[in-house]
């Protein structure tokens, strides 16, 4: 699941990704004609709306894509970088940038493109923007007040408008298409020309519009990957058409004593019950948090066997099914509940002298296992704690 | 290239970048990284006494050679150059409005750049990092910055028409 950095792709290789993304970015900007100020400022005088077309199409495409990826469960939207809102400095900074745009004719990205193909004015603009950053850095005490005022944090547009993400996406997409239509009319009036749509173009444009709304409708009306998983699990539980490997307490105890390094004992109860009592070496992955990416390495691996347990078999089965849908590993269920396991190994009652051989054997096994487990836990106290994987938010910035 | 096609490709690149790295594209941050590390190199004493530069270099100890945006902008240079060569647009050139001189154009470009550079610091990103990437993730701040940039551009356009129009 994305974002791939830093879990799947390391931070070093990320720089290569940056280079590749940049090549694509620069190529497209230049192909769109953004290395020319004539095209860029055309937006402000009404004779060329290329900037708006490229910019809006790009933004809307990425926005729909992000929503769709989130819906399919391949991108964790809670981890992506959201530019924080500092209302005052966003407005003041934006106003200064707009002024810079109309005087200089570029924005930083496009000036780099222009400089790359040999435009001297582009180079001058890049030089100027370095000066501007320097002015800010040197004069920071002067700017600090507006820079930090009205810090709202990473708020979203749709939250501010009191609507869901998908509704906002629909509105913005519709707005973009409407803007495309009207800007074309303005362009035609300013340039005193009349454009006619060829049949081919009409087909291309209307299918693009249809495609955009189709994807938005998929996100809006079809269940997302999480609810699909939930309903699959509910169905499987109802029909009971799965055959988990059920393991009795004694077998698990034996595994813990002899193969503790080959197994994961997973407690899917909430952390409160976990802290009161848990099996030796158990890791706490609460059932509702199994989808979090920090557990992926446990649920999706081929080296260790996973043993799930809970307070009742139904919950353990749910965890087992969730684990099967989330990853790929050798999964088992402990038949007994956590407290039953505890009972078996802490309240050992010596059998009567005339008890059967089996009973005595079981008693002896359990007694030894209980001591062994306690010894092991004590001995490995420091080395068996699972490594905490921090799910850090991505840092961004322009 | 058809602008809508270019926009669609731009959106896919942005989407791919967000999918892989969890963040959008940017531009002005690279200028900042290179510039401030240069200042630290050239004038270490002064930098140590300037709180903003000091904090920045403490927060970015690896310098521009480990900076995501610096690598991205190096890519932009390469990508734009390839595109320019392919479309026969590369070559030393100065583009200006019909009613101004070359030196006016250069001065205007430097001033415009200066304002944009300053504004991008306040806006925490420029048209790429704040506006475009902000729109992709529906950031309120990003979209507000975008509206401010274009709103201000339109408001001032009339006063600077001599720079661009006949």
Each residue of A158-217: pLDDT tens digit?
Answer: 999 999 999 999 999 999 999 999 999 999 999 888 877 789 989 999 999 999 999 999
Can you list the alpha helix ranges (DSSP code H) found in A154-224? Answer: 157-161, 165-191, 199-221
**Domain containing A279 — which CATH number?**
3.40.250.10
Chain A contact for B82 (CB, 8 A cutoff): yes
Q: Does one domain contain both A247 and A110? A: no
Structure tokens at B147: 């509206």
Cis peptide before A316 (omega within 30 of 0): no
Summarised one tens digit per residue, pLDDT across range A44-90 is: 999 999 999 999 999 999 999 999 999 998 998 988 999 999 999 99
Summarised one tens digit per residue, pLDDT across range B49-63 is: 998 999 998 888 888
* CA B46 and chain centroid, separation: 26
Q: Does one domain contain both A173 and A269? A: no
Q: Does one domain contain both A323 and A188? A: no
CB contact under 8 A, A89 and B1: no
Structure tokens at A254: 């034996």
Distances (CA, A) of A99 to A104, A121, A335: 8, 17, 70
Which chain A residues are closer than 8 Å to B128 by Cβ?
Answer: 25, 107-109, 398
Per-residue confidence band for A395, with pLDDT thresholds at 50, 70 and 90: low
Q: What is the average pLDDT across A238-259?
A: 90
- Count CA atoms within 13 Å of residue B141 on its CB side: 30
Confirm whether A384 is domain-assigned: no
Nearest residue of A to residue B109, measured between CA atoms:
A104
Residue A111 has pLDDT above 70, yes or no: yes
pTM: 0.86
Domain count, chain A: 2
Count of all residues that appear for chain B in the document:
166
CB contact under 8 A, B117 and A5: no
Structure tokens at A186: 């303005």
Structure tokens at A366: 């359990």
pLDDT at position B18: 95
Confirm whether A74 is domain-assigned: yes
CB contact under 8 A, A93 and B71: no
Euclidean distance between the first and the last CA atom of chain B, given in angstroms as a whole number: 27
Q: What is the average pLDDT across A371-396?
A: 71
In angstroms, the CA A199 to CA A320 distance is: 56
Average pLDDT, chain A: 90
In angstroms, the CA A245 to CA A231 distance is: 22
Q: Does one domain contain both A82 and A35? A: yes
Q: What is the average pLDDT across A13-42?
A: 94
Q: Does one domain contain both A214 and A118? A: yes
pLDDT at position A393: 58
Nearest residue of A to residue B132, measured between CA atoms:
A59
Cis peptide before A3 (omega within 30 of 0): yes
Chain A contact for B53 (CB, 8 A cutoff): yes
Chain A contact for B111 (CB, 8 A cutoff): yes
pLDDT at position A383: 67
CB-nearest partner of B93 from A91, A118, A141? A118
Confirm whether A50 is domain-assigned: yes
Number of neighbouring beta carbons within 10 Å of residue A149: 12
Backbone angles phi, psi at A263, to 5 degrees: -130, 155
Q: What percent of chain B has pLDDT over 90?
A: 83
Q: What percent of chain A has pLDDT over 70?
A: 96
Interface test with B, best of A9, A11, A66, A129 (most B CBs within 10 A): A129
* Residue where a domain terminates, one of A179, A196, A225: A225
Cβ atoms A184, A196 nearer than 8 A: no
CB contact under 8 A, A29 and B156: no
Q: Does one domain contain both A274 and A136? A: no
Q: Which residues contact B29 (CB under 8 A, 6 or more apart)?
A: A397, A398, B67, B69, B125, B129
CB-nearest partner of A21 from B3, B17, B135? B17
pLDDT at position A384: 56
Q: Does one domain contain both A194 and A246? A: no
In angstroms, the CA B154 to CA B166 distance is: 18
In angstroms, the CA A381 to CA B92 distance is: 68
pLDDT at position A392: 59
Residue A293 has pLDDT above 60, yes or no: yes
pLDDT at position A347: 84
Summarised one tens digit per residue, pLDDT across range A218-236 is: 999 999 988 898 898 899 8
Q: Does one domain contain both A19 and A166? A: yes
The region that residue A73 occupies, defined by phi over 0 for left and psi between -120 and 50 for alpha, beta otherwise, is left
* CA A392 and chain centroid, separation: 11
Cβ atoms A248, A335 nearer than 8 A: yes
Q: Does one domain contain both A249 and A177? A: no
Q: What is the average pLDDT across B5-18?
A: 96
Which chain A residues are closer than 8 Å to B144 by Cβ?
Answer: 85, 87, 90-91, 94
Chain A contact for B48 (CB, 8 A cutoff): no
Residue B123 has pLDDT above 90, yes or no: yes
CB contact under 8 A, A85 and B140: yes
Residue A389 has pLDDT above 60, yes or no: no
Distances (CA, A) of A201 to A183, A207, A208, B6: 17, 10, 10, 15
Nearest residue of A to residue B110, measured between CA atoms:
A128
pLDDT at position B64: 87
Confirm whether A386 is domain-assigned: no
Structure tokens at B80: 């734009």
Number of neighbouring beta carbons within 10 Å of residue B51: 13
Closest-CA distance of chain A to residue B87, Å: 8
Summarised one tens digit per residue, pLDDT across range B37-89 is: 999 999 999 998 998 999 998 888 888 888 899 999 999 999 999 999 999 99
Average pLDDT, chain B: 93
Structure tokens at B42: 């050239």
Q: Does one domain contain both A105 and A164? A: yes
Which residue did the predictor score with more confidence, A8 or A125? A125
- Listed in order, strand segments (DSSP E) in chain A are 85-86, 151-153, 245-247, 263-267, 283-284, 305-309, 330-334
Which residue did the predictor score with more confidence, B148 or A385? B148
Structure tokens at B129: 């990092």
Nearest residue of A to residue B129, measured between CA atoms:
A398
Residue B11 has pLDDT above 80, yes or no: yes
Nearest residue of B to residue A82, measured between CA atoms:
B139
A307 beta partners: A265, A332
CB contact under 8 A, B161 and A397: no
pLDDT at position A388: 59
Which chain B residues are closer than 8 Å to A152 by Cβ?
Answer: 140-141
Of A282-296, A304-318, B9-23, B103-117, the one with minimum mean pLDDT is A282-296
Could you tell me the residue range of the domain that residue A310 belongs to?
233-379
Q: Of A288, A270, A255, A385, whose CA–CA distance to A338 is shortest?
A: A270
CB-nearest partner of B14 from A20, A58, A127? A58
* Residue where a domain terminates, one of A194, A225, A256: A225
* Residue where a domain terminates, one of A174, A197, A225: A225
pLDDT at position A105: 95
Confirm whether A6 is domain-assigned: no
In angstroms, the CA A396 to CA A213 distance is: 29
Summarised one tens digit per residue, pLDDT across range A112-145 is: 999 999 999 999 999 999 999 999 999 999 999 9
Q: Does one domain contain both A206 and A74? A: yes
- Measured over the CA atoms of residue A90, residue A94, residue A97 and residue A101, the dihedral's sign is positive
CB-nearest partner of B115 from A25, A74, A103? A103
Cβ atoms A309, A316 nearer than 8 A: yes
Nearest residue of A to residue B139, measured between CA atoms:
A156
Number of neighbouring beta carbons within 10 Å of residue A361: 11
Q: Does one domain contain both A192 and A250? A: no
Spatial strand order in the sheet of A283-284: A245-247, A330-334, A305-309, A263-267, A283-284
CB contact under 8 A, B31 and A15: no
Chain A contact for B152 (CB, 8 A cutoff): yes
Determine whether A313 is exposed, middle or buried from the number of CB atoms within 10 Å of its CB (0-12, 13-18, 19+): middle
In angstroms, the CA A298 to CA A263 distance is: 10
């Amino acid at each position: 699941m994305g974002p791939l950095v830093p879990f799947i792709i390391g931070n070093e290789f990320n720089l290569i990704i940056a280079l590749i993304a940049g090549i694509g970015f620069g190529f497209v900007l230049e192909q769109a004609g953004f290395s020319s100020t004539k095209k860029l400022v055309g937006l402000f005088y009404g004779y060329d709306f290329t900037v708006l077309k490229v910019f809006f199409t790009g933004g809307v495409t990425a926005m729909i894509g992000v929503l769709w990826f989130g819906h399919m469960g391949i991108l964790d939207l809670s981890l992506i970088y959201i530019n924080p809102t500092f209302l005052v400095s966003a407005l003041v900074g934006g106003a200064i940038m707009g002024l810079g745009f109309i005087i200089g004719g570029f924005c930083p990205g496009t000036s780099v493109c222009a400089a790359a193909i040999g435009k001297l004015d582009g180079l001058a603009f890049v030089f100027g923007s370095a000066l501007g950053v320097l002015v800010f850095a040197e004069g920071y005490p002067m700017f600090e007040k507006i820079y930090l005022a009205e810090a709202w944090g990473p708020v979203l547009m749709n939250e501010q408008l009191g609507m869901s993400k998908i509704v906002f996406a629909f509105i913005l997409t519709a707005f973009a298409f409407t803007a495309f239509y009207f800007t074309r009319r303005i362009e035609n009036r300013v340039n005193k020309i009349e454009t006619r749509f060829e049949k081919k173009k009409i087909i291309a444009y209307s299918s693009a519009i249809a495609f955009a709304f189709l994807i938005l409708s998929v996100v809006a009306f079809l269940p997302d990957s999480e609810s699909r998983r939930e309903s699959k699990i509910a169905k499987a539980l109802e029909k009971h058409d799965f055959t988990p490997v059920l393991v009795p307490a004694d077998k698990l105890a034996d595994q813990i004593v002899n193969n503790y390094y080959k197994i994961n004992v997973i407690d899917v109860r909430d952390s409160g019950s976990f802290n009161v009592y848990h099996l030796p070496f158990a890791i706490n992955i609460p059932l509702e948090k199994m989808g979090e990416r920090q557990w992926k390495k446990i649920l999706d691996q081929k080296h260790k066997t996973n043993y799930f347990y809970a307070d009742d078999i139904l919950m353990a089965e749910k965890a087992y099914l969730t684990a099967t849908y989330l990853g790929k590993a050798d999964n088992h269920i402990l038949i007994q509940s956590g407290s039953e396991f505890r009972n078996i190994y802490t309240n050992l009652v010596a059998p009567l002298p005339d008890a059967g051989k089996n009973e005595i054997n079981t008693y002896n096994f359990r007694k030894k296992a209980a001591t062994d487990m306690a010894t092991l836990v004590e001995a490995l106290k420091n080395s068996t704690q699972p490594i905490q994987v921090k799910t850090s938010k991505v840092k961004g910035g322009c | 290239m058809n602008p809508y096609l270019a926009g669609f490709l731009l959106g896919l690149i942005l989407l791919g970048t967000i999918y892989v790295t969890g963040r959008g594209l940017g531009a002005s941050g690279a200028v900042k990284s290179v510039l401030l590390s240069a200042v630290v190199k050239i004038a270490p004493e002064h930098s140590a006494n300037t709180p903003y530069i000091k904090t920045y270099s403490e927060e970015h100890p690896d310098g521009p050679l480990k900076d995501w945006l610096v690598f991205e902008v190096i890519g932009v240079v390469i990508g734009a150059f390839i595109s320019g060569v392919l479309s026969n647009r590369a070559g030393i050139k100065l583009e200006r409005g019909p009613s101004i001189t070359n030196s006016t154009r250069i001065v205007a470009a430097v001033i415009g750049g200066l304002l944009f550079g300053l504004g991008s610091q306040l806006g925490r990103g420029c048209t790429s990092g704040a506006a475009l990437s902000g729109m992709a993730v529906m950031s309120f701040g990003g979209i507000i910055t975008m509206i401010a940039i274009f709103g201000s551009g339109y408001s001032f356009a009339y006063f600077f028409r001599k720079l661009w129009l006949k």
